Structure 1
Amino acid sequence: MFKIVILLASTAILSIKCQHHEHHVYKDVDFYTNPHYEYKYAVHDEKHHDNHQHKEERYGDKVKGEYSLHDPDGTIRIVKYEADKHNGFNAVVERKGHAVHPQHYKTYKD
């Protein structure tokens, strides 16, 4: 009797498992196509004094881009960069404008 119960239980479990079998669909992924993208954006927020822009493009293993931002001293920092697997990351930083620094005064006696 015990063998019959085990046999019926195993058959029921196998039939339930077979009914809920899902088919997995695998998509072909091309690992050899050169990646290519480009983007650019700019932010000009006068309330929070946030002014910057950025653009970048990539074709294959080479990335090229530049960004600029307004530094607190009043200058504009422009960074132009390139990166690839042979030369690594290279950047050229340029500043435009004249830096203005606030004067500091002593408020105590020596």
Structure 2
Amino acid sequence: MQTPDTEHTTTDMPTGDIVTVTLDTPIARAGGKQITEVTLRKPLAGALRGVAMGDLVACKYDAVAQVLPRVSTPMLLKQDIENMDPADLFKLGGEVVGFLLTKEQKAFIPQ
């Protein structure tokens, strides 16, 4: 018996829990399809399973590459991430780290 994939459900999420990132360099996929934007949703605790939080906060490649497929639409594949422009990887990683901040911590970030 299969259970629904609730980890990737975006319904009823607060607006601040979803962000769309425009990539500097589009990701090319088979068939000529290009990904120019990636929507990220705030990870629930289960999406962080197996990831060292310190590594994720430090934007270490392996941690970011492990979490991105779990929170991205379209779902980024391993080869997408491996071939991604480093500036785009850092931008996506920064957004994921931003999701981990408390409201109090976010209050100290200049808008």
Structure whose CA Rg is larger:
1
TM-score for both structures, normalised by structure 2: 0.21
Q: 1 or 2, which has the higher strand percentage? A: 1
Considering Cα pairs closer than 8 Å and 6+ residues apart, tell me whether 1 or 2 has the greater RCO.
Answer: 2
Q: 1 or 2, which has the higher helix percentage? A: 2
TM-score for both structures, normalised by structure 1: 0.21
